[in-house]
Amino acid sequence: MDWGGPTFVIAIIAVSTAGWLINNWIRAKHGYSLENEWGGMTEPSESGETRRLREENSALHDKLDAMQDRMIVLERIVTDRGYSLSEEIEALRDRPVPASNPADSGTPLNIERQERA
């Protein structure tokens, strides 16, 4: 094989060009900035759909963060006070009504006296 002939030089140029094209194709496919022929970088233009998807993604991340905060609070309530909460409710039910003012023991439900329309 003649290492200094024009065929070898053209083969090296063809392989290099093909590698550059494949590299740019992969970068464009995944949204990275592209390398131009002088070695500089060009940013991909952002379309309206891309912008909308980014905004929706941001809103969903914010919603997920809020839900995680709520989940932490609920887990804390269930694990820290799950068993004692029912005992505290029962203790409040068993508490005697104050003798001074029986009407002051809470909000009456008046279930029997409700008028039907």
In a domain, 7, yes or no: no
In a domain, 82, yes or no: yes
In a domain, 63, yes or no: yes
In a domain, 74, yes or no: yes
DSSP code at position 96: P
pLDDT, residue 113, reads: 52
Domain enclosing residue 80, as ranges: 23-94
pLDDT tens per residue, range 89-106: 777 777 766 655 555 555
In a domain, 88, yes or no: yes
State the greatest distance between any 2 C-alpha atoms of the chain, in Å, as a whole number. 114
Query: Residues 28, 22: contact at Cβ < 8 Å?
Result: no
Q: What band does 117 get if pLDDT is binned at 50, 70 and 90? A: very low
Structural domain tally of the chain? Answer: 1
In a domain, 17, yes or no: no
In a domain, 106, yes or no: no
